[in-house]
Amino acid sequence: MGHHVHVRLSQGLSVSENGELIEHSACRCGATFTKVFDARGGEPEPES
Ligand SMILES: [Zn+2]
């Protein structure tokens, strides 16, 4: 078989204990992926 290009089908979102948004996705072949979005991306951290 040649190269298989995974198709990332969204499986939903969750939030890690660090407050990061995690997107779960999976290909029909069974491969799974996670993509982490830093929820604080670039923004100054409010300190109160
Ligand atoms: Zn695949």
pLDDT tens digit sequence for 14-48: 999 988 999 999 999 999 999 998 866 666 666 77
Kindly state the DSSP code that residue 19 receives in the 8-state scheme: S
Residue entry with tokens 């979102």? 13
Cα 22 to averaged position of ligand 1 atoms, centre (Å): 20
Let me know if residue 48 belongs to a domain: no
Q: Are 20 and 13 in contact (CB under 8 A)?
A: no
21 assigned to some structural domain? yes
pLDDT for 47 = 73
Note the pLDDT of residue 22: 94
- Domain extent for 19: 1-39
Q: Quick check: is 14 in a domain? A: yes
Distance (Å) from CA 25 to ligand 1 centroid: 11
Q: Is residue 45 part of a domain?
A: no
Expressed in angstroms and rounded, the spacing between residue 5 Cα and the centre of ligand 1 is 6
Residue 46: what pLDDT? 66
Is 13 domain-assigned? yes
Does 2 reside within a domain?
yes
The total of structural domains in the chain comes to 1
4 within domain boundaries: yes
Choose among 6, 5, 8: nearest CA to 34. 8
- Considering only CA atoms, which of 42, 45, 43, 41 is closest in space to residue 20? 41
